[in-house]
Amino acid sequence: MTQKRRFWTLRYIIINATYFAVYSGIHAYASVFLLEKGFTNTLIGITLALANILSVIFQPFVAGLIDKQGRLTNRNVSMASTALLLTGSVLLLLIKSGVVVIFIIFALIYMVQMVYQPIITAMYFEYEAAGCHIYYGLARGLGSCGFAVVSVFTGMAIGRFGVNILMILDIIFLTVALVVLYFFKKPEVPSVASSEETGVAHNNLLVFTRTYPAFMLFVVAGVCFFFAHNAINDYMIQIITPLGGTEASMGTAVFIAALLELPTMTLIDKIMKKISVKNLLLISAAAFLIKTLLMLIAPNMTVVYISQAMQMFAYAVFIPAGAYFVNQTMAKFDQVKGQAYINCSITLGGVFSSLICGRLLDIRGPHFMLIVSLAVTTAGLAIAFVALKILGKSVEKRS
């Protein structure tokens, strides 16, 4: 790796690592934080569902504005999002009680962070095209590593210092992120018009769907995968408590999953030379199914940890393969939206899991919730197979 590439990659690593360190506090420990603040499982589900619904609305909207190539750039939106997250974290640290106020603030910062996520990925492709060569797999993998390290530390820290440590850590990481983003400026490059660059962005959902039907069908499959994925992540403490798990063992489970993302993401460029993106996405789909099944049948924490280890074939493959999937199948002016719709699959999965699983926990318990999650994931695998088969045929016709 050249010195110049190391320079760009290092800063992109920090952006990813700080983002996912904060993601740990806001997402992985959402239930822990909100339960401590007096929320019921059902109210937690409503809070996360509202945040995800807002995110689904705003992700394509913001992406469409960025795709217009105006003053609203990936970097500017990233800085604004980080500043909003920082403000919300400070408020949650200062506010000692008040379910309604905490509900509003937490839902907003949860939503903002989801809107921000696909923009980080789109920023990589933008900077790469401008000659700022970045080792994406390494950066994204180390982002997950940051999530892993912070998660295991946080699980222990909560037991010692209480849940407010979550917001203190978020404030530290967000401050670092804001400084790095400020200096992460893309160099000016001469504008060379091409037929692709003078094309039309498909900002209307119906037009976008008609243009990329197989892709949007795959997004539906992604919703199914992340229904179970979000159910496990958001309600991990409720799942493992009957198995003798604690906040500390939850931190270990999250650490295992996130740490094992690093080798897969780091090697993704080499893996894609051997296995097509389409096949990688199918492998990821099968891994989501196996992960959910193992969590369902787990009699103890050992099997929970094995289930979490499947993350290296599920989420760790889906995220980079999905990013390259967008870059390979879409015109330039649609790529930020494409990344946003991939992220919307994660978000919508969160919407449905939050609306349904919080209620299922209260009335039937975690075992039944996981049965439902397994059924949804099985449907997702079937949909993904059909979508990618259609896409394969369309590529053959164009070639």
How far is it, in rounded angstroms, from Cα 380 to Cα 334? 25
The conformational region for residue 296 under phi > 0 = left, psi -120 to 50 = alpha, else beta, is alpha
Residues in the chain: 399
State the amino acid at position 19 in one-letter form: Y
**pLDDT in the model for residue 70:** 61
pLDDT at 261 over 60: yes
The arithmetic mean of pLDDT across residues 47-60, rounded, is 85
Percent of the chain with pLDDT over 90: 37
User: Which domains does the chain carry?
Assistant: 3-185+201-398 (1.20.1250.20)
How far is it, in rounded angstroms, from Cα 45 to Cα 350? 9
Which token pair is 152?
A: 């295991």
Which range, 187-191, 238-242, 271-275, 370-374, has the best average confidence (pLDDT)?
370-374
Which token pair is 375?
A: 């059924």
Which token pair is 206?
A: 């119906």
The arithmetic mean of pLDDT across residues 221-247, rounded, is 90
CA angle (67 as vertex; 279, 27 as ends), nearest 5: 65
Which token pair is 361?
A: 């926990």
Percent of the chain with pLDDT over 70: 92
Per-residue model confidence as pLDDT tens digits over 308-367: 999 999 999 998 999 888 888 888 788 888 888 998 888 788 778 877 888 898 888 999
Which token pair is 82?
A: 């980080």
State the amino acid at position 130 in one-letter form: A
**Model pTM score:** 0.77
The arithmetic mean of pLDDT across residues 4-13, rounded, is 82
Confidence of residue 3 (pLDDT cuts 50, 70, 90): low
Confidence of residue 195 (pLDDT cuts 50, 70, 90): very low
pLDDT at 6 over 50: yes
**pLDDT in the model for residue 399:** 40
Per-residue model confidence as pLDDT tens digits over 65-118: 776 666 678 888 899 999 999 999 999 999 877 889 999 999 999 999 988 888
Arithmetic mean of pLDDT over the chain:
86
The arithmetic mean of pLDDT across residues 283-301, rounded, is 95
Which range, 30-39, 58-67, 251-260, 277-286, has the best average confidence (pLDDT)?
277-286
**pLDDT in the model for residue 396:** 45
Confidence of residue 154 (pLDDT cuts 50, 70, 90): confident
Confidence of residue 395 (pLDDT cuts 50, 70, 90): very low
DSSP letters along 57-116, please? HHHHHHHHHHHTTSS--HHHHHHHHHHHHHHHHHHHHH--S-HHHHHHHHHHHHHHHHHH
How far is it, in rounded angstroms, from Cα 298 to Cα 303? 5
pLDDT at 393 over 70: no
